[in-house]
Amino acid sequence: MNLEYLKNKRILLVDDEPGLQDMVASILQNEGFTQVRTAGSVREALTAAGTFRPELAILDVMLPDGDGFSLMEVLRKDGDYPVLFLTARGEEEDKFKGFGLGADDYMVKPFLPKELIFRITAILRRTYKSEAPVVSLKYCKIDFERAEALRETEPKEPIPLTAKEHAILLTLCRNAGRIVTIDALCEAAWGDNPYGYENSLMAHIRRIREKIEENPSKPESLITVKGLGYKLIVQ
């Protein structure tokens, strides 16, 4: 099964070792995960979570201004997303505490990169399996697992979506029928620093319309809301 739609999930990585942060972020990005935010302390993590809105958190237990267990409890008050502990604390009592608090998995350092990716993917599949991988628009269907637009009219060959197009459409689909701001779409496509991408976003919207609309100059599915952003009309 193609799981590309999971790789747009926002992942918050909290660890006070810069080298470990860089290594894990690199592992994730090399596997195609496009949205990774790092933090080195409880304080940084809470600040990041407020703006980044993570869909998975990877937490160390030992942090300079607190601990991962307490951090998880605070994070869960604002969002019920999965948590994976990645820590040097391998004692059974720590594992029991983590799972007892509701963690989805617990890994002990050192770790194998492939195992980390396997566990992250398994968590995301369990958590987000209810998301519809195929969405119907007026003139086509969007298959998010395959990252393709399936036209209802000729030519009916699948049209591949780029990673940015996929991220933009997925964000619009999650908010179907509602206005999604330009800033939110830029953040979905370009991550933590979305500013300055407005013209690039417009270019991507134009290409998306060429793939999903009968007449791209008169869109019926991907609508511009002047001065605010865009909205997607699903069937």
- Model pLDDT, residue 132: 61
Most confident listed range (38-42, 156-160, 190-194)? 38-42
Which amino acid makes up residue 51?
T
Mean model confidence pLDDT for the chain: 89
pTM here is: 0.62
- In tens, the pLDDT along 195-206 reads 778 899 999 999
127 — pLDDT class (breaks 50, 70, 90): confident
Q: Cα separations (Å) of 102 from 6, 78, 202?
A: 22, 15, 42
Say how far apart CA 86 and CA 79 lie, in whole Å: 20
Q: Is 60 exceeded by the pLDDT of residue 2?
A: no
Q: What is the mean pLDDT of residues 78-97?
A: 92
Fold of 134-232: Arc Repressor Mutant, subunit A (1.10.10)
3-state DSSP of the chain: CCCHHHHHCEEEEECCCHHHHHHHHHHHHHCCCCEEEEECCHHHHHHHHHHHCCCEEEECCEECCEEHHHHHHHHHHHCCCCEEEEECCCCHHHHHHHHHCCCCEEEECCCCHHHHHHHHHHHHHHHHCCCCCEEECCCEEEECCCCEEEECCCCCCCEECCHHHHHHHHHHHHCCCCCEEHHHHHHHHHCCCCCCCHHHHHHHHHHHHHHHCCCCCCCCCEEEECCCEEEECCC
Task: List the chain domain ranges.
Answer: 4-128, 134-232
4 — pLDDT class (breaks 50, 70, 90): low
- Contact of 213 with 219, CB cutoff 8 Å: yes
Please state the CATH superfamily assignment of the domain spanning residues 4-128 in this structure. Response regulator (3.40.50.2300)
- In tens, the pLDDT along 15-26 reads 999 999 999 999
**Which carries the bigger pLDDT value, residue 34 or residue 39?**
39
* Residue 132 structure tokens: 């519809």
231 — pLDDT class (breaks 50, 70, 90): very high
Q: Is 50 exceeded by the pLDDT of residue 1?
A: no
Q: What is the mean pLDDT of residues 37-54?
A: 93
